[in-house]
Amino acid sequence: MSTGIKERCRVVVTGVGAITPLGHSVDQMWQGLQKGKSAVDLISLFDASSFPTKIAAEVRELDFEKEYRMGEKPKKASRNTHFALLAAQAAIKDAQLQVGKNVLAERCGVYLGSGEGSSDFNNFVQVIADASSEDGSVNKAYFIERGVQVFNAIKELEQEPNVSSMHIASALGAAGPNLNCLTACAASSQAIGEATQILRRRDVDVMITGGTHSMIHPFGMTGFNLLTALSTSHADCPSKASRPFDRKRDGFILGEGAGILVLEELEHALERGARIYGEIVGYGSTADAYRITDVHPEGRGASAAIELALRDAGLKPEEVHYINAHGTSTIVNDTVETKAIKQVFKEAAYRVPVSSIKSMMGHLIAAAGAVELITCLLVMRDGVIPPTINYENPDPDCNLDYVPNVARQAKVDVALSNSFGFGGQNITLIAKKFSP
C-alpha cells in the first residue's frame, strides 16, 4: 500500500560563479584563498576619512559593461544586482545549462539571499539638510518637492532585496519559483538550504541559488560602526585587520560581492551529463530567540543548527573533515562559534581543521555563506584547505585548529559550513564529495 510520501531527491551542485574582493571569477578567488592573500584596503567607493572604520574589502576594477554576456545589462540596477547577474552568468556557463533547452523554464527556479541595494545617501542627507531649520524642524513640503526632483523612482525600487532574484529570472527565462530571504549574515546559506528542500520535494529540477550584497557605502558603514561591530584598527596596514579567532581581533571587515550555485536534482544532472562538484547532504536552521543583535552566549542556536545539519546528512561529527567557520573576527562571535563546535564535536573538535576565509575577503554579509560553500566544494575537489590569516596571538577561548596563516593539503570528503546572522539566525550546510 502506497503512503503517498515520495523519497527525497539527492541534490548536487553543477555550476558555481562568484564576484568577490579576491577576483571576478571563482578561479581568481580560489587562487587568492590558497595563497592567503588579503583583499582588505582603504575604502575607495566613498570618502571614509571621517569614519571610525576607513578600510573594507571592495570588488575593484570590475567593468560591468564589458563583463555582461547574459541578456541586456539593466540600466538602473544597483551594485549588488550587477554582482548577482555576473555571478549567475558564470555559474550557468559553468553548469552548461540552457533554460528552455536542457531544463524546462517552469522547472528552473531562483532563490537568493540578497541584501538591499545602496541608497542615494549623499542626496538624501543633502535634501534633509536643505529642508531643516535651525530649531530642528523640517519643511515637509520642501522635502517632498525636492525629493521628487532628486530621487529616481525606478532606481529607488532597486533597493528592494528581491530585485536581484527577479533580474536573474528575467535574464535566464527561469519561470519556476522566485524567492529571496534576508536573514542578515545567514541569508545566502538559508537560501541554499531552502532551495535544496525545494529540489528534494521534486518541485523543480534546477535552482539558481546563493546570495549578493554590497554595504560599503556611508549608510551601511554608519550602521555597523554604531553597533561597534567593525574593526577600527589597522588603517595603516589594512591586510592585518581581519583576524578571526586571534586574541587581538577587534571587529569584522565589511566586504561585498556575490556567490551563485546551480543546484540540480541528481537524476536530471546525470541525464544531461553534467559535471558534479559535490552533493548537498545536510541543512540545519535555528534561531537563538535571544536578542536582536547578540548571539546566545552559550552558542545554543549555533550548536543546534550544526546538530540538525549532521542529522539531516546522516553523519557523525567525526565524519566531518573540514569546517568553514563563520569566523567574523569579532570577540563574541568567534568565541561562541568555537564553543558551539566543541559542544557538538566533543573531542573530535580538536582534530577537525577549521578556517575562516573572512580573514582574507572580509564579511560579504548576505553573500558570505554562498561564497563559503563554494569554497568548501573547491576544498573537496582540490584537497587544499585555505588558511585563517593573521592568526598570531592564541586566544585561550579559541583553541581549535584554525589552519593558521598557510594553506594545508588534506583529503576532504565532507565539509561543513556555518553562517550565523544578526538576530540569532543560524544556518549550517554540509556538502559531500559526490559518489553515485
**Is residue 312 over pLDDT 50?**
yes
pLDDT given at position 166: 92
Model confidence band, residue 7 (pLDDT cutoffs 50, 70, 90): confident
pLDDT given at position 6: 63
The more confident residue out of 295 and 186 is: 186
Q: Provide the b/e sequence for 196-212 (b: ≥16 CB within 10 Å).
A: bbbbbeeebbbbbbbbb
- Dmax (CA) for the chain in angstroms is 79
Residue 181: name the closest of 194, 167, 166 by CA.
194
Which residues are part of the catalytic machinery? 185, 326, 363
**Is residue 156 over pLDDT 60?**
no
d(CA 301, CA 323): 17
Mean pLDDT, to the nearest integer, of 352-379?
98
Q: 139 and 237, same structural domain?
A: no
CB atoms within 10 A of CB 148: 9
> How many distinct structural domains can be found in the chain?
2
Model confidence band, residue 140 (pLDDT cutoffs 50, 70, 90): confident
**Is residue 323 over pLDDT 70?**
yes
Whether residue 313 is contained in a domain is answered as: yes
Q: How big, in percent rounded to 5, are the helix, strand and coil portions of the chain?
A: 40, 20, 40
Q: 279 and 175, same structural domain?
A: yes
Q: 142 and 108, same structural domain?
A: no
pLDDT given at position 155: 56
pLDDT given at position 113: 97
Per-residue pLDDT tens digits for 255-285 = 999 999 999 999 999 999 999 999 999 999 9
Cell for 343? 559542544
Stretch (H or E) spanning 333: helix 331-345
Per-residue pLDDT tens digits for 116-136 = 776 666 676 677 778 888 887
- CATH number, domain at 280? 3.40.47.10
Residue 186: name the closest of 358, 428, 22, 360 by CA.
428
Residues 6+ apart with CB under 8 A from 101: none
**Is residue 432 over pLDDT 50?**
yes
In terms of residue numbers, what domain contains 188? 11-119+159-432
Whether residue 5 is contained in a domain is answered as: no
Which burial class, exposed, middle or buried, applies to 181 when counting CB atoms under 10 A from its CB (0-12, 13-18, 19+)? buried
Mean pLDDT, to the nearest integer, of 363-391?
98
pLDDT given at position 127: 78
Q: What is the pTM of this model?
A: 0.92
124: left (phi over 0), alpha (psi -120 to 50) or beta: alpha
User: Using an 8 Å Cβ cutoff, are 421 and 291 in contact?
Assistant: no
Residue indicated by cell numbers 582588505 = 40
Q: 201 and 269, same structural domain?
A: yes
pLDDT given at position 1: 41
Q: 182 and 128, same structural domain?
A: no
Q: 293 and 146, same structural domain?
A: no
Per-residue pLDDT tens digits for 201-236 = 999 999 999 999 999 998 889 999 998 999 999 999
